[in-house]
Amino acid sequence: MSIIYDKICIIGIGLIGASIALAARRAGLAGHISGCEADPGRVDEIERLGLVDSVTTDTVAAVKDADLVVMAVPVGVMGGLAATIIPQMKPGAVLTDTGSTKRSVIRDVDPHVTDAIHWLPSHPLAGTEHSGPAAGFAELFDGRYWLVLPRDVPEEEVVRFEGFVTGLGSVSERMDADYHDKVLALTSHLPHLIAYTIVGTAVDLEGQLKNDVIRFSASGFRDFTRIAASDPVMWRDVFVNNDEAVLEMLQRFSEDLSYLQRAIRWGEKDKLETLFSRTREIRRSIIDAGQS
């Protein structure tokens, strides 16, 4: 790959931000990678890990002269961050984000956008339960979808950014905000909500039973604990900012759960087997799509 942006700035050097930096360096996509981290305690760690070419806690200094600025921060702070950095960005620069909700991010960032920059919301569908600078790795995006929301941006800039994300290893896909939030409510947000709830139920069990649940955890419960170990601030903001779509999917899930509850109560084996056979096909489809 060749350099796509002379200088990129990544604000928020956690799992996603660190992985973008490492993947961009692996592919040689940027001449200079600038990092900005709000937590001063993480700066030494970021420097020690060699994640970026330069790092600062000063967002104004970080975005100066950057051709691409990536906001890899919780969705709840995107608007305030945009208000600070957009006046400092150079004309023609691209601003993007990695947030898991899109309508709320667009709502919060749009009032601060000027004609001088290109605002291109996006969302990489990649992650782990780990967080922080040390959690990043260059292969995180390999084969994973990166959703891009073009909006009022020149086509050549969209294509250029798509070249960047495919260079990171991702598969670029265009999508609008409303559809994005509905899809992610079911594929990502609701599973996390269920995982947090199930693990929370275990936390509330009495002493010995809770200890034995932990000690004898089967693979299903272990998978839930992995999901429930995700960054609590990030997921708090996701649920608050995608409440409409999450509540819609939660209502559908509750109705299906009631159906399953009745089938178990009345010993309706055929209904149970039919449901389990249908859901098994979803897993096979995910594997065939290379997203397992």
Q: List pLDDT tens digits, range 186-210.
A: 988 998 899 889 888 888 888 888 8
Cα–Cα distance for residue pair 117/68, rounded to 1 Å = 10
Highest averaged pLDDT of the listed ranges 21-35, 122-136, 275-289: 21-35
Split into its structural domains, the chain has a count of 2
Considering the domain architecture, whether residues 142 and 200 belong to the same structural domain is answered as: no
Considering the domain architecture, whether residues 184 and 243 belong to the same structural domain is answered as: yes
Considering the domain architecture, whether residues 279 and 195 belong to the same structural domain is answered as: yes
Are 135 and 15 a contacting pair, CB within 8 Å? yes
C-alpha pair distances (Å), 193 with each of 38, 131, 242, 250, 277: 27, 18, 12, 9, 24
Cα–Cα distance for residue pair 161/4, rounded to 1 Å = 8
Considering the domain architecture, whether residues 194 and 134 belong to the same structural domain is answered as: no
Residue 90 is given by DSSP the state P
Alpha helices for 39-102 (secondary structure H): 43-49, 59-63, 78-85
CATH of the domain at 22: 3.40.50.720
Considering the domain architecture, whether residues 63 and 134 belong to the same structural domain is answered as: yes
Three-state DSSP class for residue 37: coil
Tokens (6 digits) for 68: 């691409």
177 has a pLDDT exceeding 90: yes
Cα–Cα distance for residue pair 74/107, rounded to 1 Å = 15
- Its domain, for residue 51, covers 5-175
Res 275: pLDDT = 86
Taking all residues of the chain, what is their mean pLDDT, rounded to a whole number? 92
Considering the domain architecture, whether residues 185 and 119 belong to the same structural domain is answered as: no
CATH of the domain at 225: 1.10.3660.10
Considering the domain architecture, whether residues 162 and 196 belong to the same structural domain is answered as: no
Summarize the confidence of residues 95-120 as an average pLDDT: 96
